[in-house]
Amino acid sequence: MLEKITKPSLMVNKAITLDNISRMLEKTKAAGAIFRPHFKTHQSGVVGQWFRSFGIHKITVSSVSMAQYFALHGWKDITIAFPVNLRELPAINHLALSAKINLLVESIEVINALETGLDHISDVYIKVDVGAARTGIAIDNSEAIISLAEQIKSKLKLKLAGFLSHAGQTYKAKGITEIEEIARCSQKKLFEIKEKLKDPSLILSWGDTPSCSMLPELNGFDEWRPGNFVFYDIMQYHIGSCELNDIAVAMACPVVAVHPERNQIVVYGGAIHFSKERIIADNGFELYGYVVEFTENGWSKPIAGAWLSSLSQEHGIVNLPSTMIQQFRPGDIIGILPVHSCLAVSAMNELISIEGEIIPCFKG
């Protein structure tokens, strides 16, 4: 499968991907919840088709451009899980001609602008900040949340669909107990808000791959929106969301230099392919990826004592055990499991399945 690889190429194992999708779907089904996977990770019409083969019809994206891309691929129910960008209202109006577009709001100002500027009636979710401190109204400010909900209900063009949260802090959580506490505590508060509004149809929508992967049961919320789980990555492995053999993507990188004197090889594969997402540990240790060897049907387990230790624009430096360094020659291909698969996919123009199929991706 590697004969045609001439430059950094993000290889996808379709079988692992399908397993990841199937497992998460079953978990949401068991809880009787809606599964609305986030497509910002794979960003591909082809991978979208793999989801569709499981009967999945609702999706999440993170930009209007990405919504346009997936609408063109036939998706009809798309939540843009990013605060409405008022500069893109004309594009949102156009999009709504071909798909149901669900919007995210957190201020009166944006609600008023939508009421004036939308050409259609739109479902809106209130973004509730459950502790990530990125966007949304703070969950403890229930008065402001309810007030915004009442405002939305008074508008002709807006239909309050529910409350949407992304517990980004689970990425820094210390294990399952803390994640369970974040989810349970947020669910309780969100449910109280929903109760006060006396509208049982309101949806509590919950995201983030760590909690969707690690919670034993996906109860409590009406909708789940994980994204990264489709491919997982080293970051998720470190958090505990997945096993190493659940990781479905590996960057194939040509070896361009071998330096036995410092137990390093240099690969073609840099910041513009992986992004500069990294994991830092004590003593200044930096990790940009684990190292694997490609096999007939995929890739090996990570090589113990090997890691992608540094990235510049096009170069990657790979540290290897001294016993292995002599195995590699310029022109060989080595595999790297990325730290953050979403950003690696976003940096590439396409994915390649280990069967050799070219899988085009959205370019934003």
Q: How far is CA 338 from CA 112, 132, 139, 237, 247, in A?
A: 42, 24, 33, 11, 9
Q: Give, in order, the Cα–Cα distances in Å from 10 to each of 2, 60, 292, 352, 358.
A: 12, 23, 13, 6, 10
Which CB atom, from 151 or from 310, has the smaller least distance to its own copies? 310
The full length of the chain comes to: 364
Residues 192-231 as x/- pattern, contact with its own copies by CB under 8 A: ----------------------------------------
Residues 264-283 interacting with its own copies (rule: CB under 8 A): 266, 268, 271-272, 275-277
Rounded Cα–Cα distance for residues 309 and 286 (Å): 6
The window from 51-59, 183-191, 204-212, 313-321 that contacts its own copies (CB under 8 A) reads 313-321
Separation CA 266–CA 72 (nearest Å): 40
Question: For strand 122-129 and strand 158-165, is the pairing parallel, antiparallel, or unpaired?
Answer: parallel
Tell me the closest approach of the beta carbon of residue 331 to its own copies, in angstroms: 4
Among 256, 287, 303, 324, binds its own copies (CB under 8 A): 256
| Identity of the residue numbered 334 | I
Binds its own copies by CB under 8 A, chosen from 23, 196, 262, 301: 262
Please identify, using beta-carbon distances, which residue of 160 and 265 lies nearer to its own copies: 265
CB of 177 to its own copies, least distance (A): 25
Residue with tokens 């190429």: 9
* Site membership for its own copies, residue 329 (CB under 8 A): yes
Q: Any idea of the CA torsion for 310, 209, 25, 200, to the nearest 10 degrees?
A: -160
Question: In the set 14, 36, 40, 194, which binds its own copies (CB under 8 A)?
Answer: 40
Q: Which of 93, 98, 107, 245 binds its own copies (CB under 8 A)?
A: 107
- 63: contact with its own copies by CB under 8 A: yes
Alpha carbons 175 and 12: distance in angstroms, whole number? 28
Q: How far is the CB of 128 from its own copies (least distance, A)?
A: 13
Q: For the chain, where are the alpha helices, taking DSSP H only?
A: 14-30, 45-52, 64-72, 89-95, 108-117, 142-153, 176-196, 209-214, 234-239, 271-274, 341-347
Q: How far apart are CA 354 and CA 303, in angstroms?
A: 20
Based on CB atoms, which residue is closest to its own copies, 15 or 271? 271
**Which one of 1, 73, 88, 187 is in contact with its own copies (CB under 8 A)?**
88
Tell me how far apart the alpha carbons of residues 12 and 41 are, in angstroms, rounded to a whole number: 13
By the criterion CB under 8 A, which residues form the site for its own copies?
Answer: 5-7, 40, 62-65, 82-88, 91, 106-107, 109-110, 113, 133-135, 138, 168, 254, 256-258, 261-262, 266, 268, 271-272, 275-277, 310, 312-315, 317, 329-331, 333, 342-343, 346-347, 349, 363-364
